[in-house]
Structure 1
Amino acid sequence: MTERESRIERYFSWDPKHDDEFSSMILGDRSIGGKGRSLLYGIRALRDTGEPDLMSVTMPRALFLGSDVFDDFVESLPGRDELISNGTPDRIESAFLEHPLSEEVVERVRAFLADMTDPVVVRSSSIQEDSLKYSFAGKYLSDFLGNFGTLDDRTRAVCREIRRVYSRIYFPKALAYRSRHGIGDDSMGIIVMRVSGRWRGDLYYPTIGGVGFSRNYRRWTSRVTMEDGVVRFVFGLGTMSTKREYARTCSLSNPFLRPEGQDSYTILRHSQERFQAISRKLFEGASRERPDTLATLNVNDVWDDIFPWYREEMCQYAQMYRGDEGGGYFTSPNATPSGDRSVSRICFTFEDFPKRHRKFFERMRRTLSVLEEAMGVPADIEFAYEPREEHLELIQARPLWAGSGVSSEALESIDRERIILKADRMVTNGSFRHIPSLVYVDHAVYGAARDFNDIARAVGAVNDRLKGERFIFVAPGRIGSSNPLLGVPVQYNELSNCCCMVEVGIPKMGYMPELSYGTHFFSDLEVDGVLYMPVFEGYQNNLFRQEWFDETPYEVGPHKAIRIYRGPFSVFTSGERNIGMVVTE
């Protein structure tokens, strides 16, 4: 057995119930699931280094429920077999919510909440998530609760969300993922965890949340290497960093390099404006049956609420964009931008953050290196950070899933006249030959439409029609975005037959791919071996051959925005050279 194999075996055989620091946090005799066990293993690995900067990394207070708690719950569920076989998602969820948890679970939740009134999150931690091969990113559920009211109210709310997370084991998204990969039944552990952050007025959030990776598999420039590692972070709750929203992406070896370049307007277009927080005001107007306290806010709307908590520090996070005839420029933030007509937008650029907090990047690089060594495989983390106190909290630590890919063909032999799409960043090694179909969402029709969700569902219908037949999917902006103005809001399971996704940037229409490595979207791409290319119209070393798409015969899809071209086509990508191409055969 090699040293790497030995580390992997040690990682999988480690049981937190046998660790005195963690055993009191666990209810149940069996596994607490991959997400829970990996987090505790990561904390143990950092503790064991003896290095002060790593030993000071904490995790939020948490309660872990073993998978046997879930199994006992499901086995006692009335009409279980028929419900699981034939029930709709709504019916399954209703049945789970009506069935009580055991008194032992309720009392442990009550004890956990008794002296802890900060917001909490109820997170899935399934058995199948404990894998080096499958990510399950975003396939289940995490629910945020403000944790308001009496102890009885708070206990009931958490127990309700535990049952809601349990029900997701049998929802179509998870069933389809397990079926696609030939994975059998799953069982669910639960993490009830204090949300990282603090109250700032009526909003609760950490200053910074994000994800980090010990390897950078999708480089945006040859000036960084795969081994450098990468972080992707946002202002507020890190939930926005795992979605296809804008975030700051930094190589850990050179955090000053921006994937989008240094042009002010381009930075503006790629910078975060929306952030997430727990809202006290939302709770006050919400249903007590299921209070919705997770708010998505625009910094331009709540600037007066957040600026007083940072003042001079805010220049590390936000900037004000002032438009002029020369293209615009950024200035440092001030207290009252609303009265200044020259300020067009405020956004989180984190311009000064790498300069002011170089230690953060060094500490993150060391943290990821230790975790990779401890697990025997590249590491993936979620974190929260308070720069003022240099307080780093680990929210998740687990293996970084990466598809094996295939070697790329020799790019020099390709006839340039056959190239219809070309990219120069964010690609890995891979190739697909003789792809029979290319599905294209026309950016002009999509931009004029308002039935965005209908277009997304129509893409899913094409995917179903092409079952068993691979295709290339080309669309404007960000595929799978939660904001349809930024890209087609198609679900990942609606692209199950896709072997390559191409995001086309049309700057004049506001469609810009976002190099969101680290999102659940990219985790799925890596695991499934789906190739990805961002193509920017008009950019050097990029090609979007519009005339080919306009002049080549095509079939109109279920929606007029969708075109289906018949090939065959081929895709070639080289991570070493950062070149990707789609060519006609």
Structure 2
Amino acid sequence: MMQYPHLVDEMRGIFIAALEKKGIAGEEEIERKVVEFLGEQSGHESPEDRKILKEALVDLLFAVHFTTDEIEAHINLARKRDRFRELHRVVNEERIQPGRVIRALRDFCNIPQGDLYISPSEAEGVRVALIDRFISNQLPFIGIAKQHLTIRDIDEMLDHVYLNRRRPGKIGGKAAGMLLAAKIILPRLQDREPDLEEYVRLPESYYFSSGIFSDFIDYNGLHYFRSQKYKTRESIEAEYRNIAELFRKASFPPDSVNDFRAFLERLGEHPIILRSSSLLEDNFGHSFSGKYDSIFLANQGSLETRLEEFMWGLKRVHMSTFGPAPILYRRDHSLLDFDEQMGVLVQKVIGRRFGDYFFPFAAGVAFSRNPFAWTPRIRKEDGLLRIVMGLGTRAVDRVGGDYPRMVPLGNPLLRPQIEARQIMKYSQKMIDVLNLSTNSVETAASMELLHKIDHPDLFYAVSVDEDGFVSAPLFKGMKIDLRRSCITFENFLTKTPIVPLMKKILRKLEQAYGNPVDVEFAWDENRLYLLQCRSLPVRETAGVVLPRDVPADRILFRNNLCLFNAVIPDIEYVVYVDPRAYGRIREYEEKTAVGRVVSRMNRALQDRRFVLFGPGRWGSNDINLGVRVGYQDINRCLALAEIAFEEQGLTPEVSCGTHFFNDLLETGIIPVAIYPDDRENAFNERFLLDAPNLLVSLAPDLGQYTAVVHVLHVPSNTGGRLLHILQNEREQKGMGYFAHAGEDAVGT
């Protein structure tokens, strides 16, 4: 106590409050005891004598009634209040250097935490100031984070933060969301649920602040890039093609390079991923899904080699800030004037090494609300998992000819497929892995890879086709014939705690956010790793009633797979990519050109009400299974219809959880799946093919594509009627029909 003479009076005030709270003696009782002790001499002693006697009595009572640990905790409370006052002063100074704030924070946190705290009302202002200074200035995020992030949480985070000396910056939205999710699930000051504490982890993470990006721009005189966002779309696209060479030649300041070198020495040779974490990313209502780059690095070899690869990885993430997709996304969401800056979240890749390959057992995306309830037995509020074996890239990207496992958490073994042939067909065929020798993400055939590496968790991943019945292995030592196997995750879902864990995690996060959420995760060696958390865009549309008795000649399509309730009235134009004509194209370049034609129509019709119809999977990375487009190529359409003819083997994928799907949700674009060969579906292909094609009138230089891309003006071919699209999620029925604006389907 005497070690802190300037705090002695404050400590005794704390002692008296504790004695009174325990019912031993309050201020008045202690004063009375002092008077009794002085007896007849009372009134003749000096004030100093009375003070000394009172202090001695307080100390005696406290020593008698409290343990040594309790006494130390109360002394530390006085110390914490002292350091807190300094922290409060420093963190609210406008132009103070971050180093001084960090020192004041460290001084406070160096005092043992104990179980006596600064009052929440006092601490809230400091928490908000620290969050705003180092993490995020987005008010919706701060409103939630201040309830869950403690001052000590922020201090621990700063041990892993790399700040720029000249431009401090923040860690950005993606890093902030991950950190907040972890503290909601595993809080510091509340009781933790034992199962969550046992299984849930964060990957080893480091935060490279947005100031590093800003300083890089300053150091290389690249200020003019800050005006890229105001240029025309054509200029943005043209100039972005040259930015890689410019960034490759640019350099980081020497002190930043030294920081990077020290970081890699500290980290060692473990694979890492450099993830974008811009200031706006993963915020409420605008997630920027897939708009910025994330870079996997093998991080192997000499320090200087690793340093060069690391710096080029940082540059690649930074330069994606100026790409067409994020700029147009910001323009569409009225975010263009915000000074977007890029932080980078660097994480050790979760997984194990198998020869040259590195990957986790499983990864995916989890939703607190299930957007794909294909049967009434599924409750949307139970949530959904979209899960793959290997790196999670196959779960968040639209991949061709492959399928993740979709798991309704309320009934995890329920699946759309029943027959063995269907289960085998709609299972994951390929696994994404990080090749440590080539320093690249590669895709391997799943069964070939599993045969080669002898994965110890094979029991949890696969099922075997035995005489037309697909079943999971009965026990771990059971011999598995991979030639007749497919990835189903049956044992993973039933013999590990993944399902109850995810249900609990999603429930806690949705409750804290006050909004549905999605979570990216990985699972390896019996641990669940949180990689990302963000607010989930959700479409809430009242029930939709489909019109009856619509004349056949006024129906464009009927479908029986509807993800949402939706009403899209008064559609004037249809852009139709003929699946059969597209399938006949053999040259890769010709197929990519079709995507560019669609992009041109997206611009030409941007002020009109139009929809896109095309083959298989829009946005797929396999150009043979769908037109390759990005957000910037389809962002003006009202609906995106995917047409699957059996003869071509094209299949619309339920893309819930992919970046592409999130784009559709946030932009209000309705996905529509049409199976023309299904008896419950209908599709008037002749109408789309026979109507006059306006492609050349909109773009005279695209005449060579008129056999593949058809653009038609609906009213000109329907007696003035417009196209209306309705989707009924509950009944799993939808239709597109022609009617005059404002009248029902059978009106004249």
Q: TM-score, normalised by structure 2?
A: 0.69
- Kindly indicate whether residue 536 of structure 2 is the aligned counterpart of residue 394 of structure 1: no
Q: Corresponding residue for 2:372?
A: 218
Q: Corresponding residue for 2:638?
A: 499
Q: Corresponding residue for 1:365?
A: 503
- Kindly indicate whether residue 423 of structure 2 is the aligned counterpart of residue 267 of structure 1: yes
In structure 2, do the counterparts of structure 1 residues 91 and 476 end up closer, same or farther at CA, with 3 Å as the change threshold? closer
How much does 1:384 deviate? 0.6
- Mapped to 1, the partners of 2:486 and 2:605 lie a distance apart of 41
How much does 1:531 deviate? 0.8
Q: Corresponding residue for 2:408?
A: 251
In structure 2, do the counterparts of structure 1 residues 315 and 441 end up closer, same or farther at CA, with 3 Å as the change threshold? farther
Is the radius of gyration larger for structure 1 or structure 2? 2
- Mapped to 1, the partners of 2:544 and 2:504 lie a distance apart of 35
Q: Corresponding residue for 2:383?
A: 229
Q: Corresponding residue for 1:288?
A: none
- Mapped to 1, the partners of 2:260 and 2:183 lie a distance apart of 24
Q: Corresponding residue for 1:287?
A: none
Q: Identify which of 186, 193, 207 aligns with 2:347.
A: 193
In structure 2, do the counterparts of structure 1 residues 136 and 403 end up closer, same or farther at CA, with 3 Å as the change threshold? farther
How much does 1:440 deviate? 1.6
Q: Corresponding residue for 1:59?
A: 202
Question: Is 162-171 or 461-470 further displaced after alignment?
Answer: 461-470
Q: Deviations over 1:52-78 (max 9, x none)?
A: 222231111111022222222222322
Q: Corresponding residue for 1:289?
A: none
Alignment of structure 1 residues 389-468 onto 2, 5 Å: 389-403=525-539, 406-407=541-542, 409-413=544-548, 415=550, 417=552, 418-450=554-586, 451-468=590-607
- Mapped to 1, the partners of 2:334 and 2:530 lie a distance apart of 32
CA contact (8 A) 2:225 2:322 kept: no
Task: Letter of the 2:734 partner, please give it.
Answer: G
In structure 2, do the counterparts of structure 1 residues 500 and 414 end up closer, same or farther at CA, with 3 Å as the change threshold? farther
How much does 1:556 deviate? 5.9
Q: Secondary structure at the match of 2:159?
A: helix
- Kindly indicate whether residue 331 of structure 2 is the aligned counterpart of residue 179 of structure 1: yes
Question: Is 48-57 or 198-207 further displaced after alignment?
Answer: 48-57
Q: Secondary structure at the match of 1:22?
A: helix
Task: Letter of the 1:201 partner, please give it.
Answer: G
Q: Corresponding residue for 1:160?
A: 312
How much does 1:365 deviate? 0.7
CA contact (8 A) 1:304 1:335 kept: no
Task: Letter of the 1:434 partner, please give it.
Answer: D
Task: Letter of the 2:208 partner, please give it.
Answer: L
- Mapped to 1, the partners of 2:263 and 2:151 lie a distance apart of 18
How much does 1:121 deviate? 0.6
Q: Corresponding residue for 1:565?
A: 712
- Mapped to 2, the partners of 1:547 and 1:370 lie a distance apart of 51
In structure 2, do the counterparts of structure 1 residues 573 and 426 end up closer, same or farther at CA, with 3 Å as the change threshold? closer
How much does 1:317 deviate? 1.9
Q: Secondary structure at the match of 2:201?
A: coil
- Mapped to 1, the partners of 2:383 and 2:305 lie a distance apart of 43
In structure 2, do the counterparts of structure 1 residues 315 and 401 end up closer, same or farther at CA, with 3 Å as the change threshold? same
Q: Secondary structure at the match of 2:642?
A: strand
Q: TM-score, normalised by structure 1?
A: 0.87
Note the residue ranges of structure 1 that are not aligned, 5 or more in a row: 1-5, 284-291
- Kindly indicate whether residue 229 of structure 2 is the aligned counterpart of residue 75 of structure 1: no
CA contact (8 A) 1:46 1:54 kept: yes
- Mapped to 1, the partners of 2:289 and 2:526 lie a distance apart of 28
Q: Secondary structure at the match of 1:129?
A: coil
CA contact (8 A) 1:30 1:67 kept: yes
In structure 2, do the counterparts of structure 1 residues 528 and 479 end up closer, same or farther at CA, with 3 Å as the change threshold? same
CA RMSD of aligned residues (A): 2.8
- Mapped to 1, the partners of 2:222 and 2:645 lie a distance apart of 53
Q: Deviations over 1:369-407 (max 9, x none)?
A: 111122222111111112xx4210111112112355x54
Q: Identify which of 124, 139, 142 aligns with 2:276.
A: 124
In structure 2, do the counterparts of structure 1 residues 149 and 335 end up closer, same or farther at CA, with 3 Å as the change threshold? farther
- Mapped to 1, the partners of 2:277 and 2:151 lie a distance apart of 16
How much does 1:137 deviate? 0.5
Q: Corresponding residue for 2:61?
A: none
- Mapped to 1, the partners of 2:490 and 2:222 lie a distance apart of 57
Note the residue ranges of structure 2 that are not aligned, 5 or more in a row: 1-138, 229-234, 697-701, 715-721, 740-748
- Mapped to 1, the partners of 2:480 and 2:193 lie a distance apart of 43
How much does 1:485 deviate? 2.2
CA contact (8 A) 1:16 1:22 kept: no
Q: Identify which of 430, 442, 460 aligns with 1:316.
A: 460
- Mapped to 2, the partners of 1:474 and 1:349 lie a distance apart of 32
- Mapped to 2, the partners of 1:252 and 1:109 lie a distance apart of 42
CA contact (8 A) 2:559 2:734 kept: yes
Q: Deviations over 1:23-76 (max 9, x none)?
A: 211123432111000100011111125012222311111110222222222223
In structure 2, do the counterparts of structure 1 residues 59 and 82 end up closer, same or farther at CA, with 3 Å as the change threshold? closer
Task: Letter of the 1:166 partner, please give it.
Answer: H
- Mapped to 2, the partners of 1:467 and 1:190 lie a distance apart of 34
- Mapped to 2, the partners of 1:573 and 1:495 lie a distance apart of 20
Q: Which structure has greater strand proportion?
A: 1
Q: Secondary structure at the match of 1:580?
A: strand
- Mapped to 2, the partners of 1:79 and 1:118 lie a distance apart of 33
Q: Identify which of 137, 140, 162 aligns with 2:292.
A: 140
Relative CO higher for 1 or 2, CA cutoff 8 Å, sep ≥ 6? 1
Q: Identify which of 127, 144, 157 aligns with 1:11.
A: 144
How much does 1:10 deviate? 2.8
Matched positions, count: 554
Q: Secondary structure at the match of 1:216?
A: coil
How much does 1:489 deviate? 1.6
Task: Letter of the 2:606 partner, please give it.
Answer: K
CA contact (8 A) 2:269 2:301 kept: no
CA contact (8 A) 1:407 1:431 kept: no
- Mapped to 2, the partners of 1:332 and 1:43 lie a distance apart of 33
- Mapped to 1, the partners of 2:539 and 2:546 lie a distance apart of 21
- Mapped to 1, the partners of 2:359 and 2:222 lie a distance apart of 41
Q: Corresponding residue for 2:78?
A: none
How much does 1:276 deviate? 0.8
Q: Identify which of 87, 91, 112 aligns with 2:263.
A: 112
Task: Letter of the 2:555 partner, please give it.
Answer: I
- Mapped to 2, the partners of 1:30 and 1:373 lie a distance apart of 30
Q: Identify which of 295, 298, 301 aligns with 1:149.
A: 301
- Kindly indicate whether residue 254 of structure 2 is the aligned counterpart of residue 98 of structure 1: no
Q: Secondary structure at the match of 2:280?
A: helix
Q: Secondary structure at the match of 1:128?
A: coil
Task: Letter of the 1:502 partner, please give it.
Answer: A
CA contact (8 A) 1:32 1:190 kept: yes
- Mapped to 1, the partners of 2:408 and 2:612 lie a distance apart of 29
Question: Is 78-87 or 189-198 further displaced after alignment?
Answer: 78-87
In structure 2, do the counterparts of structure 1 residues 271 and 336 end up closer, same or farther at CA, with 3 Å as the change threshold? closer
